[in-house]
Structure 1
């Protein structure tokens, strides 16, 4: 080896070691469900996560938040991003927080709305800052449904482009988060007046395609009346983008049916009919099994395993469903797969463990409280955070085992937790918390 080659190799090794040891260089949680969109924490971050915490123990800091929002924190390059809005929806903000110190770096009023559609349903069910941000290289995409979508510079929080011309009557407020894949930003609008998916050019914000749902909403409901209004057309689902054969497909669950679209063209590829509405759970893709785990919605929510391949076309309701779980399924919290098992938590706190291959239930166990937030998986540990401030840690295994129950009322949350650099970030109603061992 020449002296020059040795110096080059030494420099590369030194740089690699510096990058590996530098905080936040590689640690990222760019989407509400993590880097792989499935709630699974990278091994490097999972090992050091704490199991026990109080309002002071293993809490590195808590940063104050104003107004309200359901959006989950996303993290890249040492910054945490989330959104918030006034109760009346007239003002909508994006906030950036320093990952290490909890300092508020940006608090930007992004959109002001002279007229706002009232939120239907129970008080507190939704608000005007429910969709989460998604992060690209040095940029932030912020979405408030029909009220506006914007691309921001992640260093300055300055607007690069914005769109306020994507209409939808949300009825109970927006809920679907944007999905970034390559040069496409995919947005989902499932309202009472129109239901469609659109892809924007992530660089310019221009519309690349729009595809309306082909669902037959005139079908009769259980009461014999047409499904024309309100919840019967409404959904909150963030889609999954998955590779099937040599094609990238957008799996999007709506009311009464789900569709798959070609990411490149927006063409509908296949559809699956169901009887639920208000779908709000992102499909879970298990590539090694070529299975999509689908939750159909709120009323009579089913959990289905749908097998996909390059030949999957048309109506697959009666041809591609491997198994159906009829009862005991959540409305909001996304399931997690680990070691051939599916774990999920219902709205009222029943955790179930399901055999992936068959859909058979192996066990179920009640943990206290009500749940909107999706769990995360770190190694073989599941973390559940509820609306009362309980953080419950459960072993992801074939037998039920609760490791820890942590009660911090300030951590009452409706947002998915995020993980970066060995810390968990939980959005409470008034503060964002950083949970980390000393």
Structure 2
């Protein structure tokens, strides 16, 4: 499929978005694909760096952009403070910085994750930010707190924290609340968050529906998928399962379970990607990855799996991108795998890092190229195709490990990168 046609498919079910907006995690179309034709493919700390702005805390949440404003979240190192920040996309000036939560017991989190990993979402009037146990917060785009919702304590027996981003659909804000429930509550604590997918009225925060999942800790964000006949499914990866729901009422429409003899079928962080005929999903662990035929009804575990292969020795935290039916997936060892969506054939599995840096964030399709961010600030630009061809290596920051865990976003000819303490804006100059 030609790039222009694929971008059209990705954008087809993203309502009323200006071309310069990147309003939620993975951008318009939920596949990390940008139709921007002017953003640069080369940059450094000197070249094509338009501005950089110090942030009031760390975090791995990815920037989102709407109507010239960048929104992201930050936290103190111990997670005791969580903030929502708005930055002018043209100048880098901090427009507002709101303290959302202070003093709420943060719980455990992994160094790859932190306490501000869920990306914001916006409808142009309101911006939504999720922090796990402190709750879901709704602000006006001018920075006024409109409402907040506490779901309870988000537990993780393995101590990974939370990272699922809020998702907007019509008049709803939908939150994945996968967690380990009461079994992993701290000693003496009560009131774990529901192990559910929950929809709230986006204007009031009142609950509209809640669908139990009871799968344990999970970290993925919902996305929309349009299947044959025009039905729109809300698709969510998770521990040991990919499932499709009716976004209007939360009813489960279909599910596909996955299993592995060494329990390597979870965590399910990566977002699924699709070409409209098949949907590809990763477990996140060195277990199975699958392509499913569309559409589905009921339990499709034994009927709709087109192929399944094991991701041996790979740990996938970021989400893949898809271009011309080729999947590109970086891993936490700095490897890049390219495989064919329709067959599962691995075309290459090669190191793109230096042996130390990691792929913790998600790649981007920009100007027909694949951009792979690594955790030390290097972004590897790859020519798409069946053989690995590295075009450029671009570096921001000072090379500190684990500094860049957020995924880049694109708007109006600019690429926005977020490190633990700095927001960078790259553009032609």
Normalising by the smaller structure, the TM-score range is 0.7 to 0.9
Query: 2:352 and 2:280 mapped to 1: Cα distance?
Result: 23
Look up the SS of the partner of 2:205 in the other structure. Answer: coil
Is 1:159 aligned with 2:148?
no
Query: 2:81 and 2:257 mapped to 1: Cα distance?
Result: 38
Runs of 4+ in 1 over 4 A off after TM superposition: none
- TM-score normalized by structure 1? 0.84
**Distance change >3 Å, CA 364–CA 246, structure 1 → 2:** same
Is 1:387 aligned with 2:375?
yes
Query: Retained in 1: the 8 A contact 2:137–2:148?
Result: yes
How far residue 378 of structure 1 moved from its aligned partner, in angstroms, is 0.9
State which of 238, 242, 246 in structure 2 corresponds to 1:254: 238
Aligned to 2:132: 145
Query: 2:82 and 2:160 mapped to 1: Cα distance?
Result: 17
User: For 1:68-87, what aligned pairs fall within 5 Å after superposition?
Assistant: 68-87=58-77
Query: Retained in 2: the 8 A contact 1:94–1:110?
Result: yes
**Distance change >3 Å, CA 410–CA 32, structure 1 → 2:** farther
Is 1:425 aligned with 2:416?
yes
Query: 2:284 and 2:394 mapped to 1: Cα distance?
Result: 30
- TM-score normalized by structure 2? 0.86
Is 1:125 aligned with 2:109?
no
How far residue 304 of structure 1 moved from its aligned partner, in angstroms, is 0.7
Is 1:437 aligned with 2:428?
yes
Look up the SS of the partner of 1:425 in the other structure. Answer: strand
User: What number of residue pairs does the alignment pair up?
Assistant: 386
Query: Retained in 2: the 8 A contact 1:301–1:331?
Result: no
User: Structure 1 regions of 5+ residues with no counterpart?
Assistant: 1-23, 216-232
Aligned to 2:97: 107
Query: 2:425 and 2:238 mapped to 1: Cα distance?
Result: 34
Deviates further, 401-410 or 68-77? 401-410
Query: Retained in 1: the 8 A contact 2:275–2:325?
Result: no
Aligned to 1:30: 23
Query: 1:114 and 1:400 mapped to 2: Cα distance?
Result: 46
Aligned to 1:41: 34
Query: 1:92 and 1:153 mapped to 2: Cα distance?
Result: 17
State which of 342, 345, 369 in structure 1 corresponds to 2:330: 345
**Distance change >3 Å, CA 25–CA 267, structure 1 → 2:** closer
1:56-100 CA-partner distances (Å, limit 9, x unpaired): 111000000122111000001111010001122221101111101
User: For 1:392-411, what aligned pairs fall within 5 Å after superposition?
Assistant: 392-410=380-398
Query: 1:334 and 1:115 mapped to 2: Cα distance?
Result: 29
1:288-329 CA-partner distances (Å, limit 9, x unpaired): x2x11111232x2322111122xx222211110101121255
How far residue 114 of structure 1 moved from its aligned partner, in angstroms, is 3.7
How far residue 266 of structure 1 moved from its aligned partner, in angstroms, is 1.0
Aligned to 1:16: none
How far residue 398 of structure 1 moved from its aligned partner, in angstroms, is 2.5
Larger Rg: 1
Query: Retained in 1: the 8 A contact 2:178–2:214?
Result: no
How far residue 25 of structure 1 moved from its aligned partner, in angstroms, is 6.6
Aligned to 1:336: 321
